[in-house]
């Protein structure tokens, strides 16, 4: 019974990681940027929602109306002023830039909010949902539904809209995309905007389900990195499966064995998989030699 509970909880929490990993993968696919700042940005989103809910007594889900556009704009700003000017060695330079952005954000948050742990509050946060003998925190279920909804939106945008077509074209072959008149700069800007806008939503979810402080970002980013490596870089579907898979494993190990080893199991699996398949579970091999 406990194991079943752990599995379902793993799936529920996995939804959040899947959504964040999808954003990470999308950004990576379009512009070869490993958005290392995503952890710090999620925590930033969490703090924004936290401030809004505590000061104005607004429901955390409603706070997203303010935080999401704000963070989307931040993403576009980062693209225009920090990423676009990079000319050489893009993969490494942009990763280091995002690393620096993460450090900057962490420092700012630490000053603004001190290092004490906080959690976003809502009246229903301690309610839970009973199904048979199982008991799930309501907030987990709501978060999962929100994540699933956003993931479907993301899917529709990428596969059913004109922007999505430009986006996929830029992912597959940026040079050719530019040749057929796609403004890849604009696509990149919007993609990073979306990727970071999602962090606002992710932050709210993270902040309602966990107590956090400025350095929680490392917890998030370390897990997300494992998930995207496992999923095979650039494969959104892979990231989804890997996210759910990993979180379920972690929760089951935590229940069966000990919570301490839950996250260790997470990393052990990564190592084992990479020994067998260096390109990750769903990744493709490199390009051909001409």
Partner 1 sequence: MSTDTTISQRPTPPSYEVPKAIRYGALTVGFLVLVIFPLVFNNPTISTIGVFAMIFLMAVTGWNIFSGYTGYIALGHAVFFGIGQYATAMLASYWQIPPGWETFLLIPVSMFLAGLAAIPIGLIVLRVRKHTFIVLTIALMFIFQLFAYNLRGWTGGSQGLEVSQPPWDGSIFNLPYYYVGLFLAIIAIVTSFMIRRSKFGLSLLAIRDDEDRARSLGINTRNSKLTAFVISAIFLGAAGCMYAMFVGSVYPQFSFDPAFDLELSIMAFAGGLGTILGPSLGALIISGAQQYFLITFGGANVFLIVYGALFILILRLLPGGVVPAISDKWRSHVVRKEQRILDSELEGPAEAGAHK
Partner 2 sequence: MTLLGVEGIVKNYGGIQALRNCTMNFQEGAINGLIGPNGSGKTTLFNVMTGYETPDSGKVTFRGKDITNSTPDEVFAAGIGRTFQLTRIFPRLTVIENVHIAAQRKGLVAQMRQWSQPDERARALESLDFVGLTKLSREPAGSLSYGQQKLLEFAFIMVAEPKVMLLDEPAGGVNPTLLKHLGGRIKELNKTGVTFIIVEHDMEFVMGICDQVSVMHQGSALLEGKPEIVRNDPAVLEAYLGTDMTEVN
**Could you tell me the smallest distance in angstroms from the CB atom of residue 28 to partner 2?**
22
Q: Name which position in 70, 93, 125, 134 contacts partner 1 (CB under 8 A).
A: 93
Q: How far apart are CA 177 and CA 74, in angstroms?
A: 26
Interacting residue ranges for partner 2, rule: CB under 8 A: 288-290
* Separation of CA 228 from chain center: 10
Q: Name which position in 11, 27, 41, 226 contacts partner 1 (CB under 8 A).
A: 226
Tell me if 84 contacts partner 1 by CB under 8 A: no
Closer Cβ to partner 2, 88 or 123, answer by number: 88
Q: How far apart are CA 92 and CA 262, in angstroms?
A: 31
239 binds, among partner 1, partner 2, none (CB under 5 to 8 A by kind): none
Interacting residues of 48 by C-beta distance below 8 A, sequence separation 6+: 63, 66, 67, 70, 71, 200, 203
Tell me if 280 contacts partner 1 by CB under 8 A: yes
Helical spans, DSSP H, in 161-216: 162-172, 174-179, 184-209
**Could you tell me the smallest distance in angstroms from the CB atom of residue 290 to partner 2?**
4
Give SS3 for 288.
Answer: coil
* CB burial of residue 198 (10 Å; 0-12, 13-18, 19+): buried
Summarize as ranges the residues that interact with partner 1 (CB under 8 A): 28, 32, 34, 36, 82, 85-89, 91-93, 95-97, 99-108, 110-111, 214, 218, 222, 225-226, 228-229, 233, 260-261, 263-264, 267, 270-271, 274-275, 278-280, 283, 286, 289
């Amino acid at each position: 019974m406990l194991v079943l509970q752990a599995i379902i909880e793993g799936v529920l929490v996995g939804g959040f990681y899947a959504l964040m990993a999808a954003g990470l993968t999308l950004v990576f696919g379009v512009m070869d940027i490993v958005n290392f700042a995503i952890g710090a940005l999620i925590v930033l989103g969490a703090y924004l929602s936290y401030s809004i809910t505590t000061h104005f007594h607004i429901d955390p889900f409603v706070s997203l109306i303010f935080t999401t556009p704000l963070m989307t704009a931040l993403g576009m700003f980062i693209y225009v002023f920090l990423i676009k000017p990079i000319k050489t060695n893009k993969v490494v330079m942009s990763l280091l830039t995002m690393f620096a952005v993460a450090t900057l954000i962490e420092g700012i948050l630490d000053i603004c909010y001190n290092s004490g742990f906080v959690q976003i509050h809502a009246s229903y946060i301690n309610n839970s949902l009973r199904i048979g003998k199982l008991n799930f925190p309501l907030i987990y279920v709501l978060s999962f539904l929100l994540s699933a909804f956003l993931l479907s939106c993301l899917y529709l945008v990428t596969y059913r809209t004109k922007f999505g077509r430009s986006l996929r074209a830029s992912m597959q072959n940026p040079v050719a995309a530019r040749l057929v008149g796609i403004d890849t700069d604009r696509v990149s800007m919007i993609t990073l905007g979306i990727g970071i806008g999602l962090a606002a939503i992710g932050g709210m979810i993270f902040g309602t389900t966990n107590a956090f402080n400025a350095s929680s970002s490392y917890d998030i980013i370390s897990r997300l990195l494992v998930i995207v490596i496992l999923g095979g870089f650039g494969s959104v579907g892979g990231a989804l499966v890997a996210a759910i898979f990993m979180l379920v494993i972690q929760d089951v190990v935590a229940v069966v064995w000990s919570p301490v080893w839950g996250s260790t199991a997470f990393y052990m699996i990564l190592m084992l998989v990479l020994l067998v398949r260096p390109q990750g579970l769903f990744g493709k091999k490199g390009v051909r030699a001409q």
